[in-house]
Chains A and B, each alone.
Chain A
Amino acid sequence: MRPRTPSQWVKVLASAGMWIAMAVAVLQASVSASRPWAASACTMAFAVISSAAALISHLGSRHKGGGLSGPGRDDEDGPAGEAPHRWHTLAVVSRLMPASAGRRWLAEAESLLAETTAARRGAAVRSYLLSAPRLAAMMWARQALRRAQPGPRRPG
């Protein structure tokens, strides 16, 4: 969607600038042979910053649409309009993880939450959100270790 107000333009340009800076930092770090861990560290730092920024921006606004729109097992008595909000929060948090791990985590959360009862869904989402930072740290550490080790790389 095209930005309409000056503040929307500022947000778009700031976001584009951040991504360009991130790409330059990661490229610079990846060509530096003396610090092979720097690329992972830069990517992780930018992922954390962009996720935090997106989360803060999301908390200040109301979003509609997104996944988890399918009914649960007993969704009739569930709060209306909650599912897209939950999915958006999970999607933002999934960006804390390496891309493939984040996609899998989100897909699995979406799959499980679609089938769980409305009464238990809130607790399930909270548990996913609470475990996400530790999981993200674990996944990044694993990825950094894999990059540091010689030999063929495994996806995910």
Chain B
Amino acid sequence: MALRLTVQVQLVLQALLGDPAREMYGLELSEETGLQPGTAYPILLRLEHEGWVASRWEDIDPRAEKRPARRYYRLTAEGAAAASAALSGARRPKGTALRRLAAEGGTE
């Protein structure tokens, strides 16, 4: 299944490409992109199924940390290359479109 490069997908890829080696968790990604978590999650799942993104559960003791474990996402080497290529070829979302998306929570 080919990945549709919607504005929301571009936002997620841009956030992950900021530092491809860095792992980001859902809330962090949601804050960075301005997308609601319910919108970002299916995108991350699609990217993971395409092999662009890898994910793992954080290895912590939730009682000690007093919070549930986070799911961390990062671009794979293949994903970073594919994302860069796809973003360079994609039509850049305009500033107004991005602001409207952020205000609406980026519902796809």
Stretch in B9-17, B37-45, B79-87, B89-97 with 4+ CB within 8 Å of A? B37-45
Contact status A124-B38, CB under 8 Å = yes
Asked if B99 is an interface residue, CB under 8 A from chain A, the answer is no
Nearest B residue to A104 via CB reads: B71
Contact status A124-B42, CB under 8 Å = no
**Interface residue tally for chain B (C-beta within 8 Å):** 22
Asked if A37 is an interface residue, CB under 8 A from chain B, the answer is no
Q: Please name all residues of chain B whose beta carbon is closer than 8 Å to the beta carbon of A131 when the two chains form the complex.
A: 38-39, 41-42, 107-108
Contact status A123-B36, CB under 8 Å = yes
Q: Please name all residues of chain B whose beta carbon is closer than 8 Å to the beta carbon of A111 when the two chains form the complex.
A: 25-26, 67-71
Q: Which of A93-125 contact B (CB under 8 A)?
A: 104-105, 107-112, 114-116, 123-124
Asked if B105 is an interface residue, CB under 8 A from chain A, the answer is yes
Q: Chain A interface: which size bin? A: 20 to 34
Chain B residues within 8 Å of A, Cβ to Cβ = 25-27, 30, 36-39, 41-42, 45-46, 49, 66-71, 105, 107-108
Chain A residues within 8 Å of B, Cβ to Cβ = 70, 104-105, 107-112, 114-116, 123-124, 126-132, 134-135, 138, 142
